[in-house]
Structure 1
Amino acid sequence: MTTLNLGVVGNCSFSALIDPKASIVWCCLPRFDGDPIFNALLAGTEDPADGLFSIRLEGLAETEQHYEPNTAVLVTRLHGSSGSVEIVDCVPRFFWRDRIFRPQTLVRRIRPIAGTPRISVHVRPTFAYGTVRPQITRGSNHVRYIGPETTLRLTTDAPIDYVIDETRFNLTAPLDFVFGPDETLSGSVSDTARDFEERTIHYWRGWVSNLALPFEWQDAVIRAAITLKLCTYEPTGAIIAAMTTSIPEAPNSGRNWDYRYCWLRDAFFVVRALNSLGTVQTMENYFRYLMDIVADAGGGHLQPVFGVGRERQLTENILENFAGYRGMGPVRSGNQAYEHYQHDVYGNAILGATQIFFDRRIEMKPTLHDFRLLESAGEQAYRLHNQPDAGMWELRSRSRVHTSSSLMCWAACDRLAHIAAQMGESARVRYWRERADEIKERILAEAWSEKRKAFVESFGGETLDASVLLMAEVGFIDARDPRFVSTVDQLEKVLATGPHMKRYEAADDFGKPEVAFNICAFWRLDALARIGRHEEARDIFEALLKARNPLGMLSEDTHPVTGEMWGNYPQTYSMVGIINAARRLSKPWETVV
């Protein structure tokens, strides 16, 4: 059965997902939100005809998979009646000629490790979202896959006839495959593949060695950090929410969305998590991306989501030719959320930029002009803090004054006051502090429900929503304030199932939510730790770590009963939660005996 037990390889330009049998089942080119040339993940069948790159072992009986330690290089071992093979997958990323080299290239290296394994190689890309099969031509050591707009090339030292015809053969010596642009390799395929792998391993281990890790749960944090890094689109600085589209949030729910874009909300949390580990380059790149967006808005409406190249229009389409994950369509490209009014976006934009005004490690120094641009977003936050919107959960048929949106509008004004102080703009400190205080007073008055003994999801509302847990995280309220403590208690009673937590209790466009939203569980344990219920928070964290797949990753949602992962994958929000929780809960090394 198709699952989200998938390895991830990438180079901060594109990525690929690989199943436990070493099949590449998802890969978009030329970038994350591009054409899924390998798309078997959404074919709706266990043995799709197209859209994969697989190495098949005769008599397959067992598989195992792991990453080379502290890298994004994936190792898969297949064991069968004829023997065993090891497949190493990487997407090259390393420094070359004083700059990062990140080609649109997949490298697969395969070697026999026991017996005389009999294998077949199946390379079946498609184009135009699975609607066009390529024209195939061959050379002495390569195969070309010609599509309507692009041509891809597989260079290999495997027998070309066997590759084209998918003929089974005995693997008696290592073989290498380099798949990517239609370009001739400058050296032999074996030398190139080995060099790319070794340099990529060296790059990732060097990157990890510079992380400021907590004492406990270091392996989990390292995997989360690498995964977040892989979700950054380095050419522009964008950060995607996930690598996939249309993995249902719950079985047969119809909650199938395309997450291969940059939500300013999610990106802020990613930047903050990576900053907490001491890696600031992502923040600097994202700041450039973000400030271009703010400048484009010119003090007006900021949409919540953009393409990785800052595309504004992400028209949503149904792809009828795909049956969907496990046959659970629809499959969508594009996301209607770009049309939404989500007022928390102003706070997330300013929060995403704040640290760069204070961090002396950053070479690029923000200017007074940058501050003025952020102020234009702050004016929108103040203007809209008490106006209805779709909210952070992107409700498509209901508009309210959402507490979480107003909270982030407060955060926008609050952080602008801090930035103004840093910039020596005393008059602007007073200006933004007055606005922040005004919004805070309104939230405390209108978002509190005496009936529910909790802060609720909207002004004057009565239903519970986990997003109010962010009140403590962004510094709006002291975590030990009786109102916040009571809110946490009520949320646990209504939304929590064991370590898991749902987003909200009210029905939405598709009915009542069935699954738990992973980031909400991490918000909960953060709140518990702040309140003083530290051991409870640690127990929840340990349980959530067990919900990861064998490679240490999480999707968007977890079914609280079956424990199965649902929703798009890997989800940056969820991986952020792992980093934040480990840093919040880890014991200092001095206290461990």
Structure 2
Amino acid sequence: MADRVSSLDLWPIGNCQVSGLIDADGALVWGCVPRVDSDPIFCALLNGERQEEGVWRLSLEGQISARQEYRRNSAVLSTVLEAADGSAVEILDFCPRFRRSGRMYRPVAYVRIVRPLAGTPRLSVNLSPKKDYGAEIAPRTNGTNHIRYLVGHQAIRLSTNAPVGYILEGQTFRVESDLHFFLGPDEPFGGNVRQQLEDMLEATEDYWRTWVRGLATPLEWQEAVIRAAITLKLCQHEETGAIVAAMTTSIPEAPGSERNWDYRYCWIRDAYYTVQALNGLGALDVLEKYLAYLRNIIDSARGGRVQPLYSVMGVPELVEEVAENLPGYRGMGPVRVGNDAYTQVQHDAYGQIVLPTIQGFFDLRLFRMADLRDFESLEDVGEMAWKFHDQPDAGLWEFRTRQEVHTYSALMSWAACDRLANAAAHLGLTDRHELWSQRAKAIAEKIDAEAWNEEHGHYASAFGGRHLDASLLQMIELRFHGSGDERFKKTFAAIEQTLRRGEHMLRYDTEDDFGRPETAFNICTFWLIEALYLVGRKDEARELFETMLSHRTRSGLLSEDLDFTSGELWGNFPQTYSLVGIINCAALLSKPWTVAR
């Protein structure tokens, strides 16, 4: 229907192998197979006005309302559709995830269960996956109880106890008992589809509730933290341990801006912040798998340059192209596949490899503790941080047309050397401790000498510069300065005056390759909240945090950007950076558990 408009009012489902996004009417509008960075067989989100292609929609005849919620502490979504005549159905959406036969069962599969709740509901099923990034509807064949779709070089199969003929013809039919749909591998579905999917539902819910039970949540804002944590876990490709920046590509950062990027890859920077936040909650399973991913990246680099991002399989080449057959989010193309940022020089990546890896030398809870061989490999990364700490790069904001010696990159290089010194001391390597300590001190002195702008009285975003960016607020988080340091306080005051827009924060306000930024960057607003708290403005920090929580979607999540005038969310979704902000700020601002005892 032409009146359907794409929105970020979306509900993620997944199992750390495959993921999908469900819209406000219960339609599966985004889902890539067999991985998050693969061809989106469900692409209605980016299909402009063609909302009935690349979708799995269950439509209730005469529908007047829909309400949605996740089942408690899980990634199982419930959508209740109600019709004008009082009839209603519930749709349960999930991707199976549970332990079976001694290993995690997480198939490339989507499960949908439809339960009649009231009256005499009549339903139609539009299952129309596409292939080759929207180029064509996937060809199909069928049997008595299944439909087979050819998507690219593989096939997927729908196994169901619903009438297959009705589905093939898009015919509306009466729902008199529970319907079960399993869209997964192209192989016969053994056993009773109804019973097996009910068992999968119970086991998947049990898995997620057990996982959440192990989280060390703050007292306040627990629901917000739990939903953010579950979603961050869904952004990990468990097979390799990679963590993607978001599940989508090419949601524009601002309307018509063409700031449309493919975020379905593992940025070393974003993943660092993700594991840092989840570590604070005690979710070590995500860290352990990500450390394995990093070890493979380090081995492949062989002491050479580390890229800012890789595919979830660790592939370094991510050539950027345009998917010509997809009009884009609300018709706002281009839709990009791949990301040329992989060719950029971003020196902060070395610090972001070292910082999460260092935990492996200290944390006795880990199944695999880091050892001397790991330290020696990590020193290769540290050598690159030392070598390039004062060299120009594209910076964390990934400027495509200019390079400078970015202060944030130098800070990360300092942190790499500082943490290597800590690990060396822990391992009893006195000479290596001394070496890395001296290097950390030298970089710190260079930052104070080159990044401090005496004329304007603040640190600048680049050596010898005068402009500001929000990443300078990370000086406290990295322990480069304490919140009481006079230079930091002056820098914070300058950042507030220059980059703050009411209740929101820009990443920078200078022109880049596409002009001046038009929207606030959500993680930067969370950095502002942390800084406000740490300099003693605690009430203001709590108030601003509550405001940010009010901007979440009904699913409790955030995208990358926010229009600071209208409050509308923009940018790829769900954005790991933004969810990290929810977790970190809640932990910082919450009252202690002792208050409740």
Structure 1 and Structure 2 fold alike (TM over 0.5)? yes
3-state DSSP class of the match of 2:90?
strand
Task: Give the alignment partner of residue 370 of structure 1, picking from 345, 369, 374.
Answer: 374
Equivalence for 1:60:
63
Cross-structure match for 2:252? 248
Q: Secondary structure at the match of 1:327?
A: coil
Residue 330 of structure 2: SS of its match in structure 1?
Answer: helix
Q: Which residue of 2 aligns with 1:438?
A: 442
Tell me by how many angstroms 1:157 deviates.
1.0
Given that 2:393 and 2:406 are in contact with CA atoms closer than 8 Å, whether structure 1 keeps it comes out as: yes
TM-superposed deviation, 1:439:
0.5
**1:590 CA displacement:** 2.3
AA matched with 2:26:
A
Say yes or no: does 1:208 pair with 2:219. no
**What residue identity is the alignment partner of 1:527?**
A
1:453: how far off? 2.4
Q: Structure 2 residue aligned with 1:8, among 3, 12, 15? A: 12
Distance 2:123 2:509 in 1: 51
Q: 1:309 and 1:54 mapped to 2: Cα distance?
A: 31
Partner secondary structure for residue 326 of structure 1? coil
Q: Which residue does 1:582 correspond to in 2?
A: 586
Root-mean-square deviation (Å) = 1.1
Structure 2 residue 102 is the aligned partner of structure 1 residue 98: yes
1:266, 1:572 within 8 Å by CA — same for their partners in 2?
A: yes
CA-to-partner distance for each residue in 1:272-296, whole Å, 9 max, x for gaps? 1111111111111111110111121
Check whether the contact 1:132–1:147 (CA below 8 A) recurs between aligned residues. no
Match of 2:552 in 1: 548
Of the three residues 118, 122, 125, the one matched with 2:126 is 122
Do structure 1's residue 344 and structure 2's residue 348 form an aligned pair?
yes
Query: Partner letter of residue 253 of structure 1?
Result: S
Inter-partner Cα distance in structure 1 for 2:351 and 2:248 = 26
Q: Which runs of 5+ in 1 are unaligned?
A: none
1:132-154 residue CA offsets vs partner (Å, 9 max, x unmatched): 32221111111111234111111
Amino acid at match of 1:201: E
Deviates more, 1:57-66 or 1:574-583: 57-66
Matches within 5 A, 1:79-158: 79-82=82-85, 83-158=87-162
Give 2:293's match in structure 1, choosing from 273, 289, 296.
Answer: 289
Q: Name 1:450's counterpart in structure 2.
A: 454
Shift of 1:455: 1.3
For residues 40 and 133 of structure 1, what CA distance do their matches in structure 2 show?
Answer: 12
TM-score (ref. length: structure 1): 0.98
Query: Is the CA contact 2:54–2:137 (under 8 Å) kept in the aligned structure 1?
Result: no
Deviations 1:47-73 (A, max 9, x none): 524100000112221111100010000
Q: CA deviation at 1:16?
A: 0.4
Task: Measure how far apart 1:592 and its partner are.
Answer: 5.3
Asked if 2 retains the 8 angstrom alpha-carbon contact of 1:221 and 1:582, the reply is yes
* Equivalent residue letter for 1:97: S
Map 1:272-311; keep pairs closer than 5 Å: 272-311=276-315
Q: Residue 392 in 1 paired to residue 399 in 2? A: no
- Maintained 8 Å contact 2:52/2:126: no
- In the other structure, the counterpart of 2:243 is 239
Kindly indicate whether residue 190 of structure 2 is the aligned counterpart of residue 178 of structure 1. no
Cα distance in structure 2, aligned partners of 1:452 and 1:313: 42
Does structure 2 retain, via aligned residues, the 8 Å contact 1:92–1:196? yes
Deviation at 1:119, TM superposition (A): 1.3
1:213-267 deviation per Cα after TM superposition (whole angstroms, max 9, x unaligned): 1111000000010000000011001010000000001110000000000001111
| Per-residue deviation, 1:183 | 1.3
CA contact (8 A) 1:267 1:352 kept: no
In 1, Cα distance between equivalents of 2:270 and 2:219: 26
TM-score (normalised: structure 2): 0.98
For 2:191, the equivalent position in structure 1 comes to 187
Contact 2:250 2:333 in 1 (8 A): yes
- 1: CA distance between counterparts of 2:438 and 2:141? 68
Amino-acid identity (%): 51
User: Which of 75, 78, 81 is the matching residue for 1:75?
Assistant: 78
SS at 2:17 equivalent: coil
CA deviation map 1:351-385 (0-9, x unaligned): 12111111000111212111111111111111111
Match of 1:462 among 457, 463, 466: 466
Matching residue of 1:524: 528
User: Matched residues in 2 for 1:547 and 1:49: separation?
Assistant: 29
Paired residues of 1:38 and 1:51 also in contact (CA < 8 A): yes
Kept in 2: contact 1:283–1:356 (CA 8 A): no
Counterpart amino acid of 1:274? L
Alpha-carbon distance, 1:479 to partner: 1.2
Match of 2:131, SS? coil
| 2: CA distance, partners of 1:422 / 1:235 | 31
Moved more, 79-88 or 105-114: 79-88
**1:128 deviation in Å?**
1.6
Determine the C-alpha separation between the residues in 2 that align with 1:454 and 1:519.
22
Number of equivalences? 592
Separation of aligned partners in 2, 1:40 and 1:526: 37
CA separation in 2, counterparts of 1:312 and 1:148? 23
Provide the rounded CA distance (Å) in 2 between the counterparts of 1:396 and 1:285: 31
**d(CA) in 2 for partners of 1:323, 1:148:** 20
Match of 1:422 among 409, 421, 426: 426
* Residues 526, 581 of structure 2: 8 Å contact kept: yes
One of 21, 25, 32 as aligned partner of 1:17: 21
| CA displacement at 1:120 relative to structure 2 | 0.4
Amino acid at match of 1:259: Y
In structure 2, distance between residues paired with 1:579 and 1:350: 22
For residue 553 of structure 2, give the secondary structure of its aligned residue in structure 1. coil
Matches within 5 A, 1:23-38: 23-38=27-42
Say whether residues 1:44 and 2:48 are aligned partners.
Answer: yes
DSSP 3-state at the match of 2:127: strand
Residue 508 of structure 1 is matched in structure 2 by: 512
Give the secondary structure class of the aligned counterpart of 1:350. helix
> What CA distance in whole angstroms lies between the structure 1 residues aligned with 2:592 and 2:502?
27
Counterpart CA distance in 2 for 1:453 and 1:176 is 65
Inter-partner Cα distance in structure 2 for 1:563 and 1:208: 30
CA distance in 2 between partners of 1:589 and 1:231 (Å):
29
1:522-568 Cα deviation digits (max 9, x unpaired): 11111111212111111111110001001100011111111111110
Equivalent residue, structure 2, for 1:403:
407
Structure 1 CA distance, aligned partners of 2:479 and 2:293?
26
Q: How far apart, CA to CA, are the structure 2 residues paired with 1:392 and 1:43?
A: 30
Matched, 1:474 2:510: no
Separation of aligned partners in 1, 2:138 and 2:233: 32
Partners in 1 of 2:469 and 2:127 — Cα distance? 46
